Structure 1
Amino acid sequence: MAWAAAGAVLALVAGAVWWGVPDLRCGGMGNGVRHVGGECVGVTDGSFEFAPHLSAVQKDIVDENQWAAEKAAQEDRSLVRVALLAPLTASERTAIAPDQVRNALEGAYVALHRANRTRELGDQKPLVQLYLANEGTRQKQWEVPVARIEEMTEEDPPLVAVMGQALSTTRTEQAAQRLSENGIPIITGATTADGLDHGSIPGLIRTAPSNTDFATALDRYLQGRDDLETAIMVYDRVPEDLFVTSLRKAYRNRLSDHIAFPDQPFAGHSIAEGGVNVFYPVTQNICSAGPDMVLFAGRATDLRVFLDALSERVCRSEPISVLFAEIGEYPWDDEDLSTLREGNITLLNATGADPRWGQDGAPDAPAGFADFHSRFSDLVSGDPAEVENGYAITYHDAMSITVNAIRITKPWQEAPPTPQEVREHLLLLNEQHEVRGATGTLSFTENRSGNPVGKHVPVVPVPYTEEAADDDPHITGSP
């Protein structure tokens, strides 16, 4: 009995210690991850699992990091680290969904594997490790991983670049500005807001199309479409969401000739907690105005609610197209497609990835897509759905851009480059040093403010029809 009582006391003490020391809830002391604001945030080599659905890809990253360290030691080669900074603990109600986070890590892992084990991304030195930096579900704890990233630039092996910022928000902007002030180069992932680029934040270049690129692609698509002439804009008025405020401006700048009716605001909930979507009066105004198109400047989670409301509008006998911009194709199930058809709605999605690229007989994909797709199928999954949301493709390219910038910095020296030296080479990624990405042959220049040249930006119709397909997509940097 005494032993049982003692055991019970020890269990209680252990439990009290576990709850009393928050970092123990995040895998233990000294692993780079801390318990802040109810979440495990910070920087890890992948060994701390941020969410169960990330376990497989995080294990792949840990294994690749270990392989790179052992190879560097065996062959006396230099080794550097890169941090992927994003809200890794996403939920279904946040602007980036859990499956998008998983696909992003998978794409980055595939590029990491290609960089270390093949010559497909150029010379294999220095070898590269990928660290995962979680800034929290809604980025409220971004300062924690950024502070750790700053420390890691002074360690051995050094961290020399940050990639993968995912959301166009004021918190992303604040984190990027702080990294920039410390001379750390940034290659963003899925951020698209105009202004989140080298012109506003020195040392930052963008992987995804900008919102202006998306609007330009839509404008190109509309040319010659007599059935799509007049438009009304529906926009999210949440001020801290740079994506929606920037997209609204891009629509206004590029599609102003089509906008014929007053803008319709709503309060989105994707970024600012507690927002309420009330689309009924908006749909009434749309029926009163009678436009051919709706220009939707909001998050994908809010778009779904809007489309449900629009499908019930009183004027659904008249067809309407909803124009939208997103990194890839949002996952639409059979019920969603039925809602669109019954509501006489066509979604025209300007995107950075065409789901047809991986299909036999599809229009010409970017030159580097086949190599990416082959490696992704071997290392992750052959399921076409895994690349359709665009995050695997985008983050593969973000990692590829990062590795190329690192490797052109000190090609003839064994010592690893510093972050500042890598930063100084970002805008030399052109001509001889173009990046053969899955989304295009990419280059970066001062006159484009670090926005990608050569990226394909197709417009994908949902529901898909051959008649509405975009077989001649806009390519960024072209007239």
Structure 2
Amino acid sequence: MTRRGVGTWVRESVWEIPLRRYLALLVTAALVTGLVFGVRALAHEDRSCAPGVARPADSDECVGVATGAYDFGHAQLRDVVRAIARENDRLKPGGYVTVALMLPYSSTAATNLNDIQHQLQGAYLAQYQANHDSNGQEPAIRLVLANPGATGAHWQQTVDQLARMTTSRDRLRAVAGIGQSTDNNKKAVQALTRHGIPVVGSSITADDLANGQGGKDPYPGLARVSPTNTDEARALASFAKVSAGKALLVYDKPGDPYTRTLQESFAALIKGSPYEPQPFTPPADRSQEGTTANTFRQITHLVCDTSRETDTILFAGRHTQLRQFINALGGRGCQDRTFTVLTGDEASYLTHENDLDRDALRHRLSVRYTSLAHPDAWTKDPAKTGGSAADFGVLRKLLTTAEREPAGPIGPVALDDGQLIIGYDALQLAVHGIREAVPDGRNFPALADVGLQWPQVKGSLRVSGASGWICLDLHGNPYDKAVPIVELTPEGGSRFVRIAWPEGKPPAKECLPPS
């Protein structure tokens, strides 16, 4: 090797070592930088589902207030959600107020989804009627979907979002729906009304999710279109002539707002019964099966142990447990005895329940319940007051309109579970309160004024609902509301039996609650 070659080799070697180190440092820095950006990307992961809806950090549920055509991943909601979006898009900017329909849209239980679909269809029909068939009354109504989660666990996030919408260009003026009478929904209603947001409950019936109990109003601005459990029990008693010596109570322990107040109402009806009430303990999420089927199998033995005069079972529980109990009674040992199960409106969920053993209903067993509404109520048992076939006919006409564009389609419709009817009436009441609260010379009501309208909803200012007259007392509860008694049928679906009344008779034509 020449001297020049050696020097060149030395110089190249001297520079090669730092260059390798430099490249190694560059690679290391790139890896670190990539790791940092990766961590940041994870930390700022996009958890949005749709406008107004996102997955909380601790959940995969999409919760919040959907302001667009978002169906929460349920194809059966798609048609009606798109119909609502089309109606909302037609509204003139700045010419509407917003009503949120709050239901557990992310539920995966088939019976809950049927309920949600039907209530949503009813609410949309009331929105469409308000915007197209009310002689130009203002303001127009925009409808959005508020989801607190399948069990209502994310109620706080949803309520906070709704509260912000009251002071934005959304002009939120009421929340309707709510769904079942659960502890989480009770907290949600309490928080909403503390924010001054009027609430119209569609299917909540628990006595402790109502104003006026003990003369107190813990939920200022709450109105309901369904009777309380106590009123339902009174109507059921007036229909069935329940005798303490011939009835056995089966109840959910520890219960939730719905089951507890239903249990208390039933216990009062059969005070002095010779039989100890029989409890069962379901899972915390009462839409789940749990192990209560085993308990019900045991209770059926005790049912057969009662005297032969006992023919009535009062059931204070949710629909999943009711279905398990009916299935157990289908295999009871005393098939020669006839029993009638009487329960609350939760039984309407079983109208289209595939897991119900309908053959049990052919073995001297009938299941009757207080429905919130039924399509045959005003045609097969017309009353002079309290409601009418004509009032229900308005909804029928809307359903025909919604079979085609521009109003529809809204998806397959079912009326016999009462949920579409009660969803329609709840939004009707919300619209009534909003428009009655608009002051002269203004286009929109103040938020605080909407809930103040509820005590005046009576007499000639009543809402003539498809489920019956909605005449509210001073606490926002319906007075002597029609209670359809309905029976599950072996063939599927339900059969209307008769209208019953909490006061034992329909209200007077003035529909003015007594002092």
TM-score when normalising by structure 2: 0.79
The answer as to 2:165 corresponding to 1:152 is yes
Distance 1:98 1:296 in 2: 24
Distance 1:317 1:21 in 2: 66
- Which residue does the alignment assign to 1:101? 116
Any residues of structure 2 matched to 1:377-456 within 5 Å, and which?
377-379=400-402, 386-446=414-474, 449-456=475-482
CA contact (8 A) 1:189 1:207 kept: yes
Distance 1:214 1:158 in 2: 35
Divergent runs of 4+, >6 A: 15-20, 381-385
Q: Aligned match of 1:168 in 181, 190, 193?
A: 181
Q: Aligned match of 1:38 in 39, 44, 60?
A: 60
CA contact (8 A) 1:183 1:420 kept: yes
Q: Which moved more, 1:366-375 or 1:456-465?
A: 456-465
Alpha-carbon deviations, 1:19-45, whole Å to 9, x = none?
865544513xxx211102110000012
Q: Aligned match of 1:315 in 326, 329, 334?
A: 334
CA contact (8 A) 1:164 1:398 kept: yes
For 1:174, the aligned partner's letter is K
Q: Aligned match of 1:112 in 127, 140, 156?
A: 127
- Which residue does the alignment assign to 1:344? 364
- Which residue does the alignment assign to 2:77? 54
- Which residue does the alignment assign to 2:102? 85
- Which residue does the alignment assign to 2:22? none
Alpha-carbon deviations, 1:50-82, whole Å to 9, x = none?
1322111111111111112x2x66xxxx42111
CA RMSD of aligned residues (A): 3.0
Q: Return the offset for 1:418.
A: 1.9
Q: Return the offset for 1:329.
A: 6.5
Q: Aligned match of 1:64 in 81, 87, 102?
A: 87
For 1:419, the aligned partner's letter is L
Alpha-carbon deviations, 1:325-381, whole Å to 9, x = none?
1164732579857423343211111112224248xx633283211111221233158
Give the match's secondary structure for 1:405: helix
Alpha-carbon deviations, 1:134-163, whole Å to 9, x = none?
000111111111000010000114111111
The answer as to 2:307 corresponding to 1:284 is no
The answer as to 2:331 corresponding to 1:331 is no
Q: Return the offset for 1:452.
A: 1.0
Distance 1:171 1:333 in 2: 25
- Which residue does the alignment assign to 1:7? none
- Which residue does the alignment assign to 1:471? 498
CA contact (8 A) 1:283 1:309 kept: yes
CA contact (8 A) 2:80 2:410 kept: no
- Which residue does the alignment assign to 1:6? none
Give the match's secondary structure for 1:55: helix
CA contact (8 A) 1:205 1:426 kept: yes
For 1:137, the aligned partner's letter is A
The answer as to 2:283 corresponding to 1:269 is yes
CA contact (8 A) 2:278 2:299 kept: yes
Cα–Cα, structure 1 residues 231 and 258, in superposed 2: closer, same or farther, change >3 Å?
farther
Count of aligned pairs between the two proteins: 444
For 1:103, the aligned partner's letter is H
Distance 2:224 2:451 in 1: 13
Distance 1:16 1:454 in 2: 61
Q: Aligned match of 2:193 in 172, 180, 195?
A: 180
Distance 1:333 1:149 in 2: 33
Q: Return the offset for 1:478.
A: 5.2
The answer as to 2:369 corresponding to 1:356 is no
Cα–Cα, structure 1 residues 371 and 475, in superposed 2: closer, same or farther, change >3 Å?
farther
CA contact (8 A) 1:167 1:190 kept: yes
TM-score when normalising by structure 1: 0.85
Give the match's secondary structure for 1:316: coil
Distance 2:121 2:427 in 1: 11
The answer as to 2:233 corresponding to 1:215 is yes
For 1:356, the aligned partner's letter is D
Cα–Cα, structure 1 residues 259 and 51, in superposed 2: closer, same or farther, change >3 Å?
farther
Give the match's secondary structure for 2:334: coil
Give the match's secondary structure for 1:330: helix
Distance 1:423 1:355 in 2: 29
Give the match's secondary structure for 1:154: coil
For 2:235, the aligned partner's letter is A
The answer as to 2:493 corresponding to 1:457 is no
Q: Aligned match of 2:392 in 362, 365, 369?
A: 369
CA contact (8 A) 1:268 1:298 kept: no
Distance 2:276 2:412 in 1: 40
Identity %: 28
- Which residue does the alignment assign to 1:8? none
CA contact (8 A) 1:287 1:315 kept: yes
The answer as to 2:346 corresponding to 1:302 is no
Cα–Cα, structure 1 residues 55 and 249, in superposed 2: closer, same or farther, change >3 Å?
same
Distance 1:373 1:337 in 2: 32
Distance 1:329 1:170 in 2: 20
Q: Return the offset for 1:457.
A: 0.3
CA contact (8 A) 1:457 1:474 kept: yes
For 2:487, the aligned partner's letter is P
CA contact (8 A) 1:310 1:343 kept: no
Distance 2:77 2:273 in 1: 43
Cα–Cα, structure 1 residues 395 and 147, in superposed 2: closer, same or farther, change >3 Å?
same
Q: Return the offset for 1:259.
A: 3.8
